[in-house]
Structure 1
Amino acid sequence: MGDILAHESELLGLVKEYLDFAEFEDTLKTFLKECQMKGKPLPKTSGGSLRVSKSLTIQRDLLAAFDSGDQKVFFDLWEEHIPSSIRDGDSLAQKLEFYLHIHFAIYLLKHSVQRPDKEELSERISYFKTYLESKGAALSQTTEFLPFYALPFVPNPMVHPSFKELFQDSWTPELKLKLEKFLALMFKASNTPKLLTLYKENGQSHKETLQQLHQQLVEAERRAMTYLKRYNKTQVDYHTLIGVTAELVDSLEATVSGKMITPEYLQSVCVRLFSNQMRQSLAHSVDFTRPGTVNQCRDQSLGTEQLRCQRGLCQHVLGRSGDRECPL
């Protein structure tokens, strides 16, 4: 409760800012009245209202400079208040800026009652040419803008067929409408209330965290299944090995009393030591009574360590009888 009271003024300010942004006028009036009745602290100034007022002023100044043809004021405001990431990375902003440069370059030709001042016109054309050679060069490969790269070099663009549309009465109002829509969209995004911004950021972060956790869970389950299969296989091999070991111990005890170990019995024991994949093929194709069996086993992709182990086992078992070599 103490933490809430410590930040109560800021929290109430966030609520007030959002209600103002969403145009809940009656709700906002009731909210402010109730805060006053309960003696709740409210920020003396509304940050949201100040931002909205400032953005509206900037928009008006940009549009005024557009109408008056004040190139320097317009582009100073444009570069100051439109983020470079938007100006350089957004295709819509780049196209709009290109046409805005054309607007100011031909402004005197369209709005001068008498012949335009040559020096000022030359200065505007030179400014446009500099833009084409720098930032505007990015659009030089676009078919839509390619004809306008010749504009600075045409003596009288007003009578040139390539630039006929620029001097139509509808061209400037249409461009201004595009500018108004762009500015409204830009400054609306920058005036988003902090409460809404916090909600979006936290919601997106929460969603990304859940996705990461879900992916980690799927991966953990996959590894668990792999380890479980390995464990089950190891357990089966362990029981098989224990059984074979017990039989071999019994066979060793039998040899002490002079009982011979038959090749068929040794074959059955060794086959049981092979993997399940090789068991069936070896049982039908390997003859342990013939020499060269080791090469045949190797050709059937038995591992070196497996062959060494089994060969050593057979040598140990058959070596005591002394009547044959180890078939492995």
Structure 2
Amino acid sequence: MSAERQAASLVREYLQVTEHAATLSAFETEHAAKGGQFLPLTLPGTGANAAPRPTSAQVKHDILAHFDRGDRAQFFNLWDAHMPDAARAADEALRLEFYSSIYFAVFPCHQHVDPNVSKLPLAATLDTFKAFLETRGAQLSKTAEFLPYYALPYLPDPSVHPAFANVFTPEWGADLRRKLLDFVAANVHVVTPSRLADLVQTVEEVQARETKLIKKHQILQADYHNLLSVAAELIGVLANSLHGVPITPEYITSVVERMQAFKRASAPTTVAARVGPKYLQYDLIRQALLSDLTASGKTKTVLLHALRMRVTAAPTPQQRRLVVKTYIDYDVLGFSSNQPALGLFTHAVPAVREQAAKLGNLLCSYFAGRTYLTSRHLSPLVKTVLNAIKTADRPATLQHSLGILEKLSVRRAVQSVLIHADIVRFLVVGVLRDPDAISDATLIYATALLMNLCLRTAGRKRAAAVPEAVLAAVVPLLEHDAPLVRTYVHGILFNVLDAPQVVERARAIGLPELLACLVDVGPPHVARQIHHVLVKLKDAPSGLLAPTTTAASGLPAPKPSRRRGGTNSDLAPADLVELETAFAPRAVLARSPPGATAAGGGL
């Protein structure tokens, strides 16, 4: 009987909370007629020391009562507490909040409100309205309907101003109250939790947890039987080996594969199981990529494409990093050994070169990938990719090969190799000579790479040796559609204008006048970049290259920071260039305009 009384009490409590008055009365009458009794359950929010929870009708009544009394604080306390977020975000709610704030602001001097209500000083209500305009009402400042009211708090007596005469009519206040009544009635619904609803929710959670535990138990039970069978089989094989029967490598391989299958079955929700990188035969893949005898060009193309897609198909960044780390751990490209797969970048088959460039560019998007490719074979890799760029016969090969160098160029050692190879001249004379002939992605990689190299004094000297070619390559890009291209071009100009010969050539071709025109038509962040270049042109030093300084302060720039564990440290990545903010430096800017960080890098 105790359980029945408790169930009946829970039902009665639910009917009380949900305000089913007629149903509650019928239930109590019929339950009492059958001799039933209720347990003395206490409603949530009630009790000896607790104030009773308000009903929906009471909340609606109190909101309008505070409106009639001009009590702004209590009105918005109830409004914020009981109005759903979705309703408050609606345009109608924003309008009502704004006009209600006007009503409370002029309440002390309004002639058509209850005269018996105590009123705050007018100056206090106007100050409160001014604070509202600076906070919650700021988002409506661009709306023509509300714009005139932003002058209201600055008037000593708004009631005598003709612009606000309609606010002080009885119709205006009555119309606002009617709209508030309709909106509150439609949107304010006080929900009080009941023990019955909580009990149902708890039962559902327990059932869901039980289902998961049953599935885990079934998997563990299957693994247990599988392991017993493998253990019994191994004992038999060991017993046979005592009688001279050898254990073959093929048998060991089959056992390992079965054990890996158990892992996949027992952990279906883990990252490794979903992505599955560790179950590939990486030794065979590496052998096929390194040897021309065991795999044709088509096979290499398919393998490189599959390796890349295995990364890009992973659903989350964490899983993509896991796949890349697995490639590195298994040394799939041989860069941890003495025989790296450099021949893939200059392979005789164009498709192999293209897929190798795409995979290399993808690996260079990760810090671990850049370290893997450059830790032991830096110079051979850079020279091989340079050869691939110079002989590229496909747009994708050129694009992704440049992407490799651009992302690696955030490392000082790579910059030194590239500058020594005179890649600055190659970029301005070759790649950037005809920007219309290459894709925007290729152009972004090329300009970012050039800017990274010009951050170095040696790179600026290389650029100063060919001032006409540098300016001919980058000046036409000042009005390019891609924002990143313009940002990198501004960084290039800011750095190369340290050289007097570049400055003289820039002035001769009218660069200051062109930049002055672009300042007036460009967005604010672009105008700030161009302004720093113009200052450099105006205050250009004569003679030798000026010592490296930071653009913002004029103080000597700090030495490039290094991460612990090696000298090939990464500077700030290009992906983190913030075009919509002022150019606060993220790393060593080394002669770059504020905001033009070292381009490249990645994760």
Larger RCO: Structure 1 or Structure 2 (Cα < 8 Å, ≥ 6 residues apart)?
1
> Which structure: greater helix fraction?
1
Tell me which structure has the larger Cα radius of gyration. 1
TM-score normalized by the length of structure 2 = 0.28
TM-score normalized by the length of structure 1 = 0.47
